[in-house]
Structure 1
């Protein structure tokens, strides 16, 4: 199929970075307090009872994955649009939860104690936007973020996407169907390379003096967005929406986000805040392609390792070591049993 800069891709978790702009626009307008408990704004759903103080589950911490939510969600979406849950039902137990997840959005550790990635946290923020704005999430995002940034071919969900413009999804070389999502804020932005370029450019001063944020969010808020709020291995790696790359101390050099949905979606975008260069990869079929290209670009561009990719690699290495150790143990037990049987026979 022919692919171009205006071909529409679902961008999976890259959606969260754009969603963060929608939340922070409400903060700039004084309608949401970053450090208020998120439940101050919610009437349609509440966090399940836990051993922790839910007042610590703030908007700031949800944006930076430090709110203590332990859902670990990625969302797989629904092949049948009729199966899409309500937002409240999804928060209670998402039936499209990724492998090994029960789908319940709950507080599982002390809010603010550590960074832990939470797709469910952005579904809570989706509900926040709907409750505060009084509009459906996708409608609010189109009017308050996407259209003002000139992202006219972008939409949360499949509504309004022309089939001829939509990239096919592939998994292991086989074409797979597109999916619909309840968790639009976390996973369901459909966009193009052209529109993604406009989004990255909006973090910087425009060629004709347009202000960073383009009036959607303030320059001060953009600075706050790209300040470390979440840490891993002692490094400030997460802002209010994007992942941060660059110096261990001081302001980050590069910001970005990856996206992955199984089956078929692999995406990344990275932006150098100093020189305005960047990389955008929207792809289907190879789950490692986009993050690997993004990590390679960061390393060759500024000499900095991608901490998230590194941690994932360490996790895979630990699994291989554990499997290898188990194989060696089983081999040793089999060999020992064989030797004992041979001695008995002789």
Structure 2
């Protein structure tokens, strides 16, 4: 019995050691190999163009910044010409831009980050829950810590005539992703954990409309895009941009549909590389452009509001991709939807370096390239690259632990038989 206990404890110890090694090697990128070793922007983008030859991407626009200055742009297409003025839908990158709009209302003292959201709502209210809905605040909506369990994910509508009203979508989104019930509601204790919520940003969309007295799209265009001279950015589809809208593709290269959304704040931003370059300069303190959001309120966006496994992951509407030094992060957001749209925005708050990538036709190309840019720059795996590596990590943990268990069993049986043979010899 003691021998069995010894083998069980040894197995348990080795499993813990192996799991810890694999987890930390993934988290720290000890064995990670980026798609290129070139860090200089020109060589980096040349490597990106080579990488495009090995997998399908329908359209791509990319820009790399150094010390707050645009260094290099590059474009790729399989059909209609793509340039810096081509209009892309950017999926959840919309949330990052939405957060800037919300923070402008905070700056103007029209919104308080820490009062119940019900203070601002007349058209719709969160349904009664098992928790105190008054603990749902704008700060928690922006940081995905409000306790909402919708898990949205919006699939959109093929026909613009089918787009729901904002209130109807909050009650139950007809375009919820598969296996999501589409209801925006409080399902866990507000403030208890980080849980990504598209519904939370749709609720912010309603709050902006209630507070500003304007449609969400009109508010964002007049208060954010016009001051920044982002003349080709909008949340509500505008037919005059039809000729400049990029083609949509499925992952197999076939043409895909253009989808329309009720959830504009969460996923429906249309913009161009040229406009996002202007947005990039909003965060550059040395830029002399007119800034609708002051540096003080910009910095509030990257204060840590949520962590995972002890690591900062999210501020106010922005991922904290990795910490570069105390109180400085690489910030921004990615977007991903189906049919495949994948976008990425990274900004180093210390050095003012950054990268913007917009793609169609590939579910994760932009995220992988942007995360490799972060890895080459910092030697660290960023928050989204860690997620992309999770499947490989889990497989390694499972394979290693099964191997450990089998080896311990074989050793145990081998020693048991050896011990039995020794006893037989002794007993002659």
Equivalent pairs, count:
322
- State the distance in 1 between where 2:304 and 2:95 align: 16
Deviations 1:176-209 (A, max 9, x none): 11111000000000001111111111011244x4
Match of 2:190 in 1: 111
What residue number does 1:309 align with?
385
Q: Greater RCO between the two (CA within 8 Å, min separation 6)?
A: 2
Aligned mates of 2:277, 2:270 — CA distance in 1: 14
Work out which of the residue numbers 83, 88, 101 in structure 1 matches 2:180: 101
* C-alpha contact (below 8 Å) 2:184/2:199 kept by paired residues: yes
Distance 1:248 1:196, change over 3 A: closer
Give the conservation status (yes or no) of the 8 Å contact 1:76–1:262: yes
Which protein has the larger Cα radius of gyration, Structure 1 or Structure 2?
Answer: 2
Q: 2:200 aligns with which of 121, 126, 149?
A: 121
Residues 37/161 of structure 1: CA separation in 2 closer, same or farther (3 Å cut): farther
Show structure 1 runs of 5+ residues with no match: 326-346
1:201 aligns with 2:281: yes
Alpha-carbon distance, 1:247 to partner: 2.6
Q: Secondary structure at the match of 1:169?
A: coil
How far did residue 316 of structure 1 move? 6.7
CA contact (8 A) 1:68 1:114 kept: yes
Unpaired runs of 5+ in structure 2? 1-79, 402-428
* 2:241 corresponds to which of 156, 162, 170: 162
Equivalent residue in structure 2 for 1:174, among 224, 249, 254:
254
2:372 aligned to which of 288, 296, 307: 296
- Does the Cα contact within 8 Å between 1:157 and 1:188 map onto a contact in 2? yes
Q: Which residue of 2 aligns with 1:75?
A: 154
Deviations along 1:80-104, whole A, 9 cap, x unmatched? 1111000000000000011211100
| Separation in structure 2 between the aligned mates of residue 235 and residue 20 of structure 1, nearest angstrom | 22
For the 8 Å contact 1:11–1:191, the answer to whether it is kept is yes
CA 1:291 to 1:79, structure 2 compared with 1: closer, same or farther past 3 Å? same
- Output one character per residue of 1:124-159: Cα deviation in whole Å (capped at 9) or x when no partner: 000000001111110110000111111111111322
Q: Tell me whether 1:23 sits opposite 2:99 in the alignment.
A: no
Give 1:274 shift: 1.9
TM-score, reference length from structure 2: 0.72
Q: Once the 2 structures are TM-superposed, how far is the Cα of residue 320 of structure 1 from its aligned partner?
A: 9.7
Residues 24 and 136 of structure 1: CA distance in aligned 2, closer, same or farther (over 3 Å): same
> Any conservation in 2 of the 1:201–1:276 contact (CA below 8 Å)?
no
Q: In the alignment, is residue 242 of structure 1 matched against residue 318 of structure 2?
A: yes
Q: Please point out which of 124, 136, 142 is paired with 1:45.
A: 124
The residue aligned with 1:59 is: 138
Aligned equivalent of 2:263:
183
User: In 2, distance between residues paired with 1:297 and 1:116?
Assistant: 26
Q: Work out the CA distance in 2 between the residues paired with 1:133 and 1:69.
A: 24
Residue 222 of structure 1 is matched in structure 2 by 298
Aligned counterpart for 2:360 among listed residues 277, 280, 284: 284
1:235–1:248: 8 Å Cα contact kept in structure 2?
no
Matching residue of 2:213? 134
249 and 277 in structure 1: CA distance in 2 versus 1, 3 angstrom threshold: closer
How big is the alpha-carbon RMSD for the aligned residues of Structure 1 and Structure 2? 2.1
* Aligned counterparts of 2:203 and 2:113: Cα–Cα separation in 1: 14
CA contact (8 A) 2:322 2:383 kept: no
Give how far 1:215 is off. 3.5
**1:321 Cα deviation from its structure 2 partner:** 8.1
Q: Secondary structure at the match of 1:101?
A: coil
Which residue of the partner structure matches residue 254 of structure 1?
330
